Amino acid sequence: MNIAWGCDHSGYEGPPPIYKTELVRYIEELGHTVVDCGTFGPESVDYPDYANAVCAAILSGKADEGILMCGTGLGVAMAANRHKGVRAAVCTNAEMVKMAREHNNANVLCLGRRILTLDECERLIDTWFEARFQGGERHLRRIAKMG
What residues are annotated to the active site? 70, 103
Name the residue nearer to ligand RB5 (CB basis): 15 or 147: 15
115 binds ligand RB5 (CB under 6 A): no
Q: Which stretch binds ligand RB5 (CB under 6 A): 14-22, 31-39, 65-73, 84-92?
A: 65-73
11 binds ligand RB5 (CB under 6 A): no
Amino acid occupying residue 140: L
Amino acid occupying residue 136: G
10 binds ligand RB5 (CB under 6 A): yes
Cβ contact 124:115 at 8 Å = no
72 binds ligand RB5 (CB under 6 A): yes
6 binds ligand RB5 (CB under 6 A): no
Q: Where do contacts with ligand RB5 occur on this chain (CB under 6 A)?
A: 8, 10, 47, 70-72, 74-75
